[in-house]
Amino acid sequence: MAVKEALAIGLMLLLSACSSVPSENFEAASRVAVRRVCLTSPGIPDRPQVTIINPIGAGFGVLGNLIEAHRASGAQQEMQAVLAKANYDYGSALTDSVFLAMGKAGFTMVRSPDSRPEKERERFLTNYPQMKRVDAYLDVYADYVGFQALQSSEDYRPHLEISARLVDAHSGRILFQDRIVYGFSVATDEDAVLVRAEDNYRFRDRAALQANPLVTARALQNAIEAVAWELAKQFM
């Protein structure tokens, strides 16, 4: 079971590094018609991630990657326990932060009562809920929620990657679409909106991430709020 889980995580890391969402800027003229926005239930990973972009084992081929995937699996379980001790739900935090940020951007926000289908946790929704008096649907999913180090010898820092799409409720036309990344990124500036990680949240190793659950949760919350606000700014 451990080997299967490690292989699954290795595949997830590869797909995350290669993911891309074509950008579609929000046109100012659309703002007149888009006032009331429904936030659909965001898609989130079932576990927080803790990874190293360039681990030492990467130079040892398939075996090295398998070892790194196994390490990442153990780190995920540790982080899950840390956030549980802090009573921190990153899924609810992302939902609330996006909802509040979009409200500050001037939209009247409502929440969808529908839960997100499991098969669409890591992609945009195929269908949107039928809601009255809604101008558009905001569809958000996270590819990555957790911490990341640039290489094995460097500190872990909060890392978050989300994809967002605003869809016209009447025509189904995509009004906005982009990917926002907080922290390190293998993407170029053309691939995503990049948000620089704050320097005041650094963790030397996995032990440091576990030392104070409240501080670790606060670091992740800070990243989520920053990304939510960056999303809202795309409509201002």
What is the per-residue pLDDT across 192-230, written as a single tens digit (0 to 9) for each? 899 999 889 999 999 999 999 999 999 999 999 999 999
The model's confidence at residue 6, banded by pLDDT at 50, 70 and 90, is: very low
Whole-angstrom Cα Rg for the chain: 18
| Percentage of the residues of the chain whose pLDDT score is greater than 90 | 73
**Is residue 61 over pLDDT 80?**
no
What pTM did the predictor assign?
A: 0.87
CB 68 within 8 A of CB 52: yes
Q: Please give the helix or strand (H or E) that residue 205 lies within, else none.
A: none
CA atoms of 158 and 184, how far apart (whole Å): 9
Q: What is the pLDDT of residues 128-155, one digit of tens each?
A: 998 999 999 999 999 999 999 999 899 9
Task: Out of 3-7, 12-16, 63-67, 163-167, give the one with best mean pLDDT.
Answer: 163-167
- Collapse the DSSP code of 55 into the 3-class scheme (helix H, G, I; strand E, B; otherwise coil) and give the result: coil
CATH annotation of 30-50+86-233: 3.30.160.150
| Percentage of the residues of the chain whose pLDDT score is greater than 70 | 87
CA atoms of 78 and 88, how far apart (whole Å): 14
pLDDT at 66: 81
Q: What is the pLDDT of residues 19-57, one digit of tens each?
A: 568 899 999 889 999 999 999 999 999 999 999 988 876
Beta bridge pairs of residue 140 = 164
